[in-house]
Amino acid sequence: MKDITYEQAVVSEVLSSLNKSRRLLHILVGPRQVGKTIASIQISEKWSGPVLRESADQPLPPGPEWIRTHWERAAAMRNERVLLILDEVQKVLGWSEVVKSLWDSEQTEQNPLNVLLLGSSSLLMQKGLSESLSGRFLLFRCSHWSYREMNAAFGVDLNGWLFFGGYPGSVPLMSDEETWTGYVRDSLIETVIARDVLQLQTVTKPSLLRHLFFFAASAPAQIVSYNKMLGQLLEAGNTTTLAHYLYLLGSAFLLRGLEKFRGGTVKKRGSSPKLILLNNALISAISGYHFDEALANPSWWGRLVENAVGAHILSALQGLPWEVLYWREGNAEVDYVVKTPRKLVAIEVKSKRPRSFTGLRAFCDRWTNAIPLVIGPGGVPLEEFFTTDPRDLLQ
């Protein structure tokens, strides 16, 4: 079971905002199984008035009447300070239009409802927010659990987190790796692909999308050309299809394909993407490695470390006008390039003591304003990096 006594920072952030009586919708987005529902329970327990919590996570997507029904139930308690929480709201057909209508009507009330909406599909949530609810909401994010959170809540050590990842619900299963693997594959990976992507998006080749995910999870933190993917995957179609499916998998918080840094200009979908899984559990559950085997394989463990660094950076920089890229020219490579409005940071990840920093030197020789950063032996220790907000190192 999850430790519902551990409180993520987002709980106090949302509560603080709600208590300021702003006439804005509050939206909480993030992956499945990272604590959005538990965060909403903790928020409701600390709320000073009545709370109505309902979830649209049903086998068949409910219609807009589902939202209207629960909105009216909450409105019936209007004489008190009511909080309405609707979970997995993106599954409701036409959710943003009906919320807009109800919310705009609510603003004429002297004592309007407080509303918190939760969603686990970034693409569908962002589409609804931008098309219908512009200027009416505050956005909050739940991420895959960091090492700091897993350690504080469950005592998971760094190596355990690097292998088993950041799904709090999987912690009791870590001592039985076969059961843990089945849980992550069946209850997380397949559920997300089936219910958050295929059920809610138009996907002409669902088997290709699924195969693309498993291919990416077998090549964490690797730069793979679209042409190579076309050769590896059945019914691959074309590079445009693959790039679109990578985008859909990213909208479900599963993986990202980083673009190549080109000195200020990024050609979208033009370069070979660097594949980053957003939670290392997604890698280990399909790798075939047991924990001890992975730890004893320096090459594979190095991939897990490099992937975890990329995922940690991507998680921390959500919503900021910063780009996370990679760079490679010939044999020279930089693992991550972070471009901020004021800085350019070149990052090299090491899981063992390095012999040289050829890629960093080549990059900094070409872009003299770049700031080099080494993570791992010879630089910022891994434990220190994973317990630090990357923004403190990069801004």
CA distances, 349 to each of 108, 211, 224, 242 (Å):
54, 28, 19, 28
User: 3-state secondary structure string, 9-50?
Assistant: HHHHHHHHHHCCCCCCEEEEECCCCCCHHHHHHHHHHHCCCC
Q: Is-contact 185 282, C-beta < 8 A?
A: no
How high is the pLDDT of residue 23? 84
- Domain positions in the chain are 9-141, 147-394
pLDDT at 266: 47
How far apart CA 37 and CA 71 sit, in angstroms, is 19
Please list the pLDDT of the chain residue by residue as tens digits (395 residues). Answer: 344 578 888 999 999 999 886 789 999 988 888 888 899 999 999 999 999 999 998 878 899 999 999 999 999 998 888 999 999 888 888 889 999 999 999 988 888 899 999 987 666 676 767 777 888 899 998 899 999 999 999 999 999 999 999 999 999 999 999 999 999 999 999 988 987 788 767 888 888 999 999 999 999 999 999 888 888 886 667 888 899 999 899 988 999 999 999 885 544 446 799 999 999 999 999 999 999 999 999 999 999 999 999 999 999 998 788 999 999 999 999 999 999 888 999 999 998 877 778 999 999 999 999 999 999 998 999 999 999 998 888 87
Architecture of domain 9-141: 3-Layer(aba) Sandwich (3.40)
